[in-house]
Amino acid sequence: TADTDADQAEDKAPKKKQRRNRKNKDNKNTAEDKIEADGATTTPAKEAPTPAPAPAAPALPPTSNLTPLQQAMRQKLISSRFRHLNETLYTTPSAKALEMFSTNPELFDEYHAGFARQVKESWPSNPVDDYIKTIRTRGAIPLPRRGNPINPAKGYPLPRRPTGLCTIADLGCGDAQLARALTPSAKKLKLKLNSYDLAAPDPLITKADISNLPLEDGAADVAIFCLSLMGTNWVSFVEEAWRILRGDGKGECWV
């Protein structure tokens, strides 16, 4: 009898354990089904890593911090840029040059910075300085009284209108050096200064293609081309100067 009871106990133990495991499994499945059905519990999403900031573009070193070799290379680059722009202005029509400077205004400043450097380093003189001096000298000479001829010994005055005003058109004025030098004394010398070029970085400059100027026929007394007959259509610049000069034969074209 004892052996029989022991055997029955051993048979009941594993069956009881199996029932308990099956119950736990059913409870787990029921809970998972409930979670899936009502969405009460969700797996937390992982946060996307914050992207590292893009590195800033390195700033160009100040000119003062460049080594002598770097400074020499920088100057060669500036000179090369000037020569390229200079060649472009000589080998294209003025309309194309106007379009180029309108699209990239900084090129106008680059060109004239390179030009100024070239003049300073290798030119014996700048012709615009001679023109400024000539205008000041001749502007101070009064016109002879009506009916009297000009006295060469006293010099030749600028061509003027009956009002005494002399209108000067600087065609292809660059950085308007002539106008900047003469504007302070323009009232005293009775000058009206008109400056034209493909870009107008200075208020003294009017942006224009000098083959098509915003001036009436015969409006100018002096037309000046100071290193500005550049472009494959340069002849049209001269024709335009002829159009704007006074028609009595007393206008002057300086080249």
pLDDT at position 47 is 53
CA dist 4 → 16, 18, 44, 135 (Å): 18, 22, 56, 140
Higher per-residue confidence, 75 vs 221? 221
- pLDDT one-digit tens code per residue, 99-140: 999 999 999 988 988 888 888 888 999 999 999 999 999 999
Structure tokens of 21?
């495991």
pLDDT at position 32 is 53
Specify whether the CB–CB gap between 226 and 132 falls below 8 A. no
With 50 as the cut, is the pLDDT of residue 66 above it?
Answer: yes
Q: What mean pLDDT do residues 154-158 have?
A: 93
Give 237's pLDDT tier (boundaries 50, 70, 90). Answer: very high
In 92-176, which ranges are continuous DSSP H helix? 94-103, 106-122, 127-139
Specify whether the CB–CB gap between 190 and 160 falls below 8 A. yes
Structure tokens of 151?
């006295």
Structure tokens of 156?
């030749």
Q: Indicate the pTM of the whole model.
A: 0.70
DSSP 8-state code for residue 195? E
DSSP 8-state code for residue 163? T
DSSP 8-state code for residue 190? T
> Minimal CA–CA distance to 193: which of 156, 213, 165, 234?
165
Alpha carbon distance 132, 161 (integer Å): 20
